[in-house]
Amino acid sequence: MPLRNPRIQPLWFFAQTFVIGLDLYIVSPLLPQIMRRYHIGASHASLLVTVFALTYAIASPFWGYYADSHPRQWTALWALTIFIVGDVLTALGPPYVLVLASRVLAAVGAAGFTPTLYAYIADHVPYRSRAKSMGVASAGFSSATFLGIPTGLIVANALGWTAAFWLIFVLALCSLVITRELWIRSPIPQPTTPPSWTLPRPLWGNVLMTGLAFGSFGTVYTYLPLYLVQTWHITRLSLTIFMMVFGLAGLIGTLSSGRLGDRFGNLLVIRWGMSAEIATLVMLLFTSNVATLWTALLAYSFVSSYTPSLKALISHKGAKGLALAWNNSAMYLGLSVGSALGGWLWHWHMSAVYGGAIILLAGGWLSATSKVWA
């Protein structure tokens, strides 16, 4: 059945981003195990997150430029193949330096596949309903924390942290089959204008606020599992349950963002989300009990999930592959910078991490409300 069939295509969007999201988000909950395995500290172990995100940010625009002048399907296949090779190398559990190298390779593949998929959506879905479709695709990332990460943690706790990456390997093979068997049968029209590295001025505003928003999120999320284990002394089972509920809140927020973006406008939804996100971070600064902590963190996961609106907004005009690639690049560069910033702030206290996240997000909010969108 062709991927273009509107009844089933959201399922493929969802499933394929789920695999990429699982690979991205599984590392943070596995940091305690990786630290014990290689006898390294938190800031050293977090390089696995930082290197992946930074590599993705650098590689994504090159893939976007390529995707706007080549068939989307073949671009996605090449990218997935590279991604799979990188995950296999990680799963083999080599010395730490080689694990870092394998994460670089996996990031190069992910950097090619994700914006190509979003560009495919932008090619086929009208702008007036695009945020909803982007929301379904982005929900795959959220579901990776809701379903994938708890499953990965169960596998890792039973068989070791490398087993989680063998699980990703199997799922990525399934994604490769979907891409080959379904994408190939529904070729897309090629762009009518030659690809370019430049973007309209408002789209660069999107890139800026995306980078700042994800920088803020990366600052908090990377060290959240360590914070819960070391400060609140929660068990592995409790951490698994929390990650599941945290991901569910993000999934609901992502789907809601897509629908609200189509109804009220994507830029307005982004502004709402950033305002609420700042409020929850301020609330976390004054948390003194478990009930308040969980409430604030779940609210944070929900209101920070406005990715569909960011992607729908930047895909409105221009070369979609390149525009969405720059958007993804900003996401991962933001995560990389946020992870590094969080590692530096972690030495003081989690309150310092929250404070750094608020400053970054305030910059994103100012970008979202600037005259560049007028």
Question: Per residue in 326-371, pLDDT tens?
Answer: 888 888 788 778 878 887 888 888 889 999 999 999 998 988 876 5
Cβ-count burial 272-304 (b if 16+ within 10 Å, e if not): bbbebbbebbebbeebeeeeebbebbbbbbbbb
The whole-angstrom separation of Cα 160 and Cα 154 is 9
8 Å CB contact between 131 and 270: no
Contacts of residue 130, Cβ cutoff 8 Å, sequence gap at least 6: 121, 122, 262, 312, 315
**Helix (H) or strand (E) run with residue 235 in it:** none
DSSP 127: G
Query: How far is CA 33 from each of CA 24, 164, 273, rounded to the nearest angstrom?
Result: 16, 12, 34
Contacts of residue 124, Cβ cutoff 8 Å, sequence gap at least 6: 4, 9, 188
- ∠ at Cα 363 (326, 324), nearest 5°? 15
What are the residue boundaries of the structural domains of the chain, listed by start? 9-373
* Burial zone of 348 (CB within 10 Å; 0-12 exposed, 13-18 middle, 19+ buried): exposed
- ∠ at Cα 136 (130, 137), nearest 5°? 90
- Residue 119: name the closest of 299, 360, 323 by CA: 323
8 Å CB contact between 166 and 333: no
The whole-angstrom separation of Cα 321 and Cα 61 is 9
Matching residue, tokens 């989680």: 164
The whole-angstrom separation of Cα 269 and Cα 46 is 32
- Residue 306: name the closest of 268, 257, 260 by CA: 257
- Residue 314: name the closest of 218, 238, 203 by CA: 203
Q: SS3 for 199?
A: coil
Q: How far apart are the first and last CA of the chain?
A: 43
- ∠ at Cα 191 (190, 197), nearest 5°? 130
Considering the domain 9-373 in this protein, what is its CATH number? 1.20.1250.20
Tokens of 155: 């596998």
* Burial zone of 116 (CB within 10 Å; 0-12 exposed, 13-18 middle, 19+ buried): buried
The residue type at 306: Y
Q: How confident is the prediction along the chain (374 residues), in pLDDT tens digits per residue?
A: 454 555 567 677 888 888 888 887 778 778 778 888 888 877 777 788 778 878 888 888 888 778 777 777 788 899 999 999 999 999 998 888 898 999 999 999 998 998 888 887 777 777 777 777 778 887 887 777 677 667 777 777 788 888 888 989 999 998 888 878 776 555 554 555 555 666 667 678 888 889 999 999 988 987 888 888 888 888 877 887 887 888 889 889 988 888 898 888 888 999 999 999 999 999 999 888 888 888 999 999 999 988 888 888 887 655 567 778 888 888 878 877 887 888 788 888 888 999 999 999 999 898 887 655 54
